[in-house]
Amino acid sequence: MFQQLKLRWESSTTRSKTFLLGGVVAIFLLFCSLTYWAIRDDYQVLFSNMEPQDAAQMVAELDKQKIPYRLANDATTILVDKDVVHKTRLKLMGKGMTLKGNVGFELFNNTDYGTTEFAQKVNFQRALQGELSRTISAMDEIKSARIHLVLPESGLLRRQGSKAKASVSLLMKGDAQLSAEQIAGIQRLVAAAVPEMDSGAVTILDQRGVALTPLNGTDSAAASTSGKLEVKKEIESYLTRKVVGLLDKALGPGKALVSIDVTLNYDQIKITTEDVFPEGGGVILRRKQSQQSQQSQQGSSLRLGNVTDPKNHSTDRPIPDRSSPSSSMVDVEYQNSRRVEQIVGDPGNVKRISVGLLLPGGVSKGQVVQIKEVVEMAVGLNSSRGDAIAVHSVDQIMSAPSVAVERTDNAPMVDKNVPKKVMHPDAGYTVIWLLALFMVCLLIAGGVIATSRLRKSKKKGSLSPTERERALQKIMEWADSELSEIRTVDSR
């Protein structure tokens, strides 16, 4: 059998031998791969994207528990066998192993009763910072976060006006960026977790040290200017989008140009009006009525009168003398009512709006007027406020007459029908550059010609003795041939 294989091998062509060897090698490699895949250990991710200090802590605990592991991705990922990956993760989390290098409220799991009050405050601040860092790091765009809190002292020795502050440092994932809403959300999150903290007291930085939060008025004088400019841009953008959307549907996309300028009034106006109601319209505080009567020296003068009672019985009763003079006085004290009205104008009101529209060609004057009216209503222009709008079409601008130039007395008369040749301001510079380029080309051509001649002259240098002999021999042969031809002609 071996002889038959040997004979067949020897009788086979080179191509057949090559295919046979290739097949044997392929089968061997496939067998080795299957064997390695069957006997190898399947390691899966235990933790990934870890900080160096967290990875060191996890590796130390795995070594302590004698659990085999592997490191990957520059020691930021820990791999363990797939059969124990979940069990190992639960064990590590159950022992209070922290991630992201932050310590949370698990710091108080093992309370030491001998800890001082100052140490308890520091631990509480560390735990609060760690919990906030974990919450912020859970966002998709953020890789890690560090928070520093400045908490005011509590108690009798607390300084007046001291407020809590916070600074947040973020490490973003790749080129990820946070939107304005996300930044405001982080500020509100930190302010809600810390007592007596305003969202404006939270400063957020990225890994490049760029402040993501807007400046407060107390931090810089440019903060108010920046805020005013942002408000102006937002209003102008809103009105521009509104008008552009209207014109795109009426005339076609991108056929009209719109420019809107908004002037805002940031003066804070406070108007106080006080009205006092007239007398009698208020509330009575005190009422005093006094009456005086003048009597004779004998006392009160009385006289007897015949008075008839209801039963027709007549009796004599004393009747006061009404003829004596008397006076009465009524003193009434009112609290006059008054009305105080205060009107405070918020800064940032619209002072004036200016709109400029450039319409495409082919728009009639009637359409221009109609578009102007529609835009005025859409933007909300108020003529009493000083708002203005200018609407023109391309045809009106192209057909507009040129501005006439006033001629002085000494200026010569120029025929308007003769077309004027107006030279472009850059024409003189263009001619100069062309002349300079031509001169440079001449210099380059002259240099090339001179160089070629020098090379030819070098090649035509003195001949060696052997070359001279050969040249002389050729000249002699040529001369002999010429002489022989001449002699032949003469003999004829």
Which of 4-18, 217-231, 333-347, 374-388 holds the top average pLDDT? 374-388
Quickly state the pLDDT bin for 435 (edges 50, 70, 90).
low
Structure tokens that stand for 160 in this block? 């007046």
Nearest Cα to Cα of residue 65 among 52, 78, 50: 78
Identify the residue with better confidence: 433 or 153: 153
For residue 446, pLDDT over 80 is answered with no
Q: Cα separation of 164 and 155, whole Å?
A: 15
Q: What is the pLDDT of residues 12-35, one digit of tens each?
A: 788 777 887 888 888 888 888 888
Mean pLDDT for all residues in the chain? 76
Sequence-ordered list of residues with C-beta below 8 angstroms from that of 16, at least 6 positions apart, any chain: none
Question: Worst-scoring range by mean pLDDT, 18-32, 313-327, 353-367?
Answer: 313-327
Percent of the chain with pLDDT strictly greater than 70: 69
Which of 31-40, 190-199, 287-296 holds the top average pLDDT? 190-199
Quickly state the pLDDT bin for 185 (edges 50, 70, 90).
very high
Q: What is the pLDDT of residues 287-304, one digit of tens each?
A: 777 777 655 444 444 444
Q: What are phi and psi of 465, to 5 degrees?
A: -60, -40
What value does the mean pLDDT take over residues 85-114?
A: 74
Sequence-ordered list of residues with C-beta below 8 angstroms from that of 454, at least 6 positions apart, any chain: none
Placement of tokens 């400045």 in the chain:
150
30-55 burial code (b ≥16 CB/10 A, e <16)? eeeeeeeeeeeeebeebbeebeeebb
Q: What is the pLDDT of residue 9?
A: 75
Quickly state the pLDDT bin for 147 (edges 50, 70, 90).
very high
For residue 236, pLDDT over 90 is answered with yes
Q: Cα separation of 261 and 40, whole Å?
A: 71
Q: Cα separation of 133 and 148, whole Å?
A: 10
For residue 184, pLDDT over 70 is answered with yes
pTM of the model: 0.45
Length of the chain: 492
Q: Are 215 and 222 a contacting pair, CB within 8 Å? A: yes
What value does the mean pLDDT take over residues 310-316?
A: 45
Structure tokens that stand for 90 in this block? 């639960």
